[in-house]
Amino acid sequence: MSNWPDWFQEALRQRFYQIELASEQQASCSSENNNLFTKMDRFKTNQNEDTQRLLSEWEEAIGYQLSQDKQSIYMEGVKDGIRLILPVIQPTVTR
Instruction: Convert the pLDDT of each residue in 18-48 to its tens digit.
Output: 877 787 677 666 777 778 878 888 888 888 9
Radius of gyration of the chain measured on its C-alpha atoms: 21
Q: How far is CA 15 from CA 7, 9, 26, 32, 43, in A?
A: 12, 10, 17, 27, 41
Average pLDDT, the chain: 80
Instruction: Give the integer Cα–Cα distance in Å for 93 and 87.
Output: 7
Using a pLDDT cut of 90, give the percent of the chain over it: 7
Distance CA 63, CA 25 (A): 20
> What's the rounded Cα separation, in Å, for the pair 84 and 55?
43
Which pLDDT does position 2 carry in this prediction? 55
pLDDT for res 93:
55
